[in-house]
Amino acid sequence: MPLLLKASNRHLLSSSSSSSIASMATCSSFCAQLPIPFRPVPISSSFPTNQPFKPFSAQASISPASDELFFMYKKKCLLYSPYLTKTFSVFADDGSPITVGFLGLGIMGSPMALNLIKSGCDVTVWNRTKSKCDPLISMGAKYKSSPEEVTAACDVTFAMLADPECAVEVACGNHGAVSGMGPGKGYVDVSTVDGGTSKLISGHIKASGASFLEAPVSGSKKPAEDGQLIFLTAGDKSLYETVSPFLDIMGKSRFYLGEVGNGAAMKLIVNMIMGSMMATFSEGLLLSEKVGLDPSVLVEVVSKGAISAPMYALKGPSMVKSLYPTAFPLKHQQKDMRLALGLAESVSQPTPISAAANELYKVAKSHGLSDSDFSAVIEALKGKVQS
């Protein structure tokens, strides 16, 4: 049976890089009897001795079709293999599983939480609209009726919320996440917000004695479903180390970028580029049609050359048909453009192209396209919508 070794895509960055390599060597000899694809990759060799979290180790039980393979690892090693999704838990050294909370079950939060559940993690969910919890509860999730109850019940809690305002409300509002936090717990905000918001939430979380990590994701609905997200993290390094096994279930890459605010900034810059790319792609599609070319052929031509991008190949064919099935809501793309422009203004960086693209997203929103996919921005360039 072919193995896809997810570990090959991993980025263990910054100060942990060299020590990770050293640790990898340790783990390889520790598990020398294993075939290479099954060798564990270290989560961290520089695991702080006095870190505030329950020390943990990973245990993986693998049951492929032949049902013949069974491996168990201790000592901070994580096994990467496609079979990992069968059963997987991260345990504290006292033998209890690290319990995971998940707040916000929209387009992104639902598949992310589902991947944790499918992997065998002990997951407790909450969402403002309770009905979105039900499919996850039927898959084995526990449910609590407020963010406070989730964080009180869980060791680490992830939050995937729409925008800065609701990220603050869920964290710091009445019966918010902060009220259930305390020493030894961690809060990981994976929403896309600005650095100021992230620092505000971090301040409240840390005042409770808990740890904070911002970890916005790059990648949309499908990568979320496939566990192929890219995490852009910043904040408490020990929490980063602790939650890395969970990030690796939900994603394919993770970057640790230092101080709170850096992850948010990286995410906003990436999405500023993405939003501008989509806007100019839209102009190209419409221009090609106006001059008598087939826009589908333009999509194909673009896919062959230096400016090819998965986004164009993925969205182009449906844009040509004026179809915009929502993966990344347009209102969130415009929010990200707005926040990125604020970031640019804060350091006096000119961003005229992105500013123009932002205007286009605002026009699209004003025409009722907020909940369509962001590729619907093309509609803002069509005469009938503009008039």
Q: Which residues are catalytic?
A: 267
**Residue 220 in the binding site for ligand LL5AMS7Z (CB under 6 A):** yes
Strands 40-42, 77-79: pairing is antiparallel
Residue nearest to ligand NDP according to CB distances in the complex: 106
The pair of three-digit structure tokens given for residue 161, joined into one six-digit string? 């919320």
Measured between alpha carbons, how far is 185 from 67 in angstroms, rounded to an integer?
Answer: 36
Is 358 a binding residue for ligand NDP by CB under 6 A? The answer is no
Binding mask 116-145 for ligand NDP (x = CB under 6 A): -----------xxx--x-------------
Task: List the structure tokens of 120.
Answer: 């065998």
CB of 218 to ligand LL5AMS7Z, least distance (A): 4
**CB closer to ligand NDP, 31 vs 270:** 270
Is residue 106 at the binding interface for ligand NDP, with CB under 6 A as the rule? yes
**CA–CA dist 113, 340 (Å, integer):** 27
Residue pair 233/255 in contact by the 8 Å Cβ criterion: yes
Q: What are residue 150's phi and psi, to 5 degrees?
A: -65, -50
- Could you give the CA distance from residue 37 to residue 203 in angstroms, rounded to a whole number? 42
User: Which residue reads 């992104």 in tokens?
Assistant: 108
The β-bridge relationship of strands 186-189 and 156-159 is parallel
Q: Does 276 bind ligand LL5AMS7Z (CB under 6 A)?
A: no
Contact in structure between 225 and 252 (CB atoms under 8 Å): no
Would you say 77 or 274 has its CB closer to ligand LL5AMS7Z?
274
328 binds ligand NDP (CB under 6 A): yes
Closest CA to 156 of 186, 198, 111: 186
**Pairwise CA distance, residues 22 & 259, whole Å:** 25
3-class SS of residue 353: helix
Neighbours of 150 (CB within 10 A): 27
- Residues 172-211, interacting with ligand NDP (CB under 6 A): 191-192
Nearer to ligand LL5AMS7Z, 242 or 282 (CB): 282
CB of 23 to ligand NDP, least distance (A): 30
- 372 touches ligand LL5AMS7Z (CB under 6 A): no
160 part of the interface to ligand NDP, by CB under 6 A: yes
The closest residue (CB) to ligand LL5AMS7Z is 220
CB of 219 to ligand NDP, least distance (A): 6
Nearer to ligand LL5AMS7Z, 115 or 192 (CB): 192
Binding of ligand NDP by 230 (CB under 6 A): no
Binding of ligand LL5AMS7Z by 218 (CB under 6 A): yes
Binding mask 171-200 for ligand LL5AMS7Z (x = CB under 6 A): ---------------------x--------
Q: Of these, 75, 142, 199, 221, which contacts ligand NDP (CB under 6 A)?
A: 221
As given in the structure block, the two tokens for residue 225 are 């479903």
Report the C-alpha dihedral over residues 224, 230, 234, 236, rounded to 10 degrees.
Answer: 70
219 binds ligand LL5AMS7Z (CB under 6 A): yes
C-alpha distances in Å from residue 148, one per residue of 169, 175, 182: 12, 5, 11
Stretch that binds ligand NDP, among 25-33, 156-164, 280-288, 350-358 (CB under 6 A): 156-164
Q: Is residue 275 within the footprint of ligand LL5AMS7Z (CB under 6 A)? A: no
φ, ψ dihedrals at 307, nearest 5°: -95, 15
- Do residues 192 and 268 lie in contact, with contact meaning Cβ atoms separated by under 8 Å? yes
In this complex, which beta carbon is closest to ligand LL5AMS7Z, that of residue 41 or of residue 266? 266
Residues near ligand LL5AMS7Z, by CB under 6 A: 192, 218-220, 271, 328
